[in-house]
Amino acid sequence: EIVLTQSPATLSLSPGERATLSCRASQGVDIYLAWYQLKPGQAPRLLIYDASKRASDTPARFSGSGSGTDFTLTISRLEPEDFASYYCQQRARWPENTFGQGTKLEIK
């Protein structure tokens, strides 16, 4: 099974700052990686797929990069609504899918 390790577990930043979240795969997953946003009491939301493609309703301040084993989700300028948990997910060996353990982005 491909294991995804996200870092940091918790990231404390202020609105307007830049956020950088990391996801590392135990084996290469090419570009088959997505990022999801999860807020308490809400449905998860697909933000980024194929490592760098924004989903249709994802704001431009969100960007994804990486390939192989190292991936990054960047939020250029944090808005209040961006404080949430973020999960990466791989599907390199479909139908096997795994999630990372998540990064909680909290207000400093």
Partner 1 sequence: EVQLVQSGAEVKKPGESLKISCKGSGYDFSNYWIAWVRQMPGKGLEWVGIIYPGDSDTRYSPSFQGQVTLSADKSINTAYLHWNTLKASDTGIYYCAREAAVASKWFGPWGQGTLVTVSS
- Bridge partners (DSSP) listed for residue 87: 36
Give the residue, chosen from 7, 44, 59, 77, that forms a contact with partner 1 under the rule CB under 8 A: 44
DSSP reduced 3-state for 24: strand
Is 99 a binding residue for partner 1 by CB under 8 A? The answer is yes
String marking each residue 47-86 x if it binds partner 1 according to CB under 8 A: --xx----x-----------------------------x-
The CB-of-94 to partner 1 minimum distance in angstroms stands at 6
DSSP reduced 3-state for 74: strand
Q: Please enumerate in sequence order all residues whose Cβ is within 8 A of that of 37, keeping only pairs 6 or more positions apart, or say none.
A: 44, 45, 47, 82, 84, 85, 86
Give the residue, chosen from 2, 22, 24, 45, that forms a contact with partner 1 under the rule CB under 8 A: 45
Cα atoms in the Cβ-side hemisphere of radius 13 Å centred on 69: 7
Give the residue, chosen from 19, 21, 29, 34, that forms a contact with partner 1 under the rule CB under 8 A: 34
Give the residue, chosen from 22, 52, 74, 98, that forms a contact with partner 1 under the rule CB under 8 A: 98
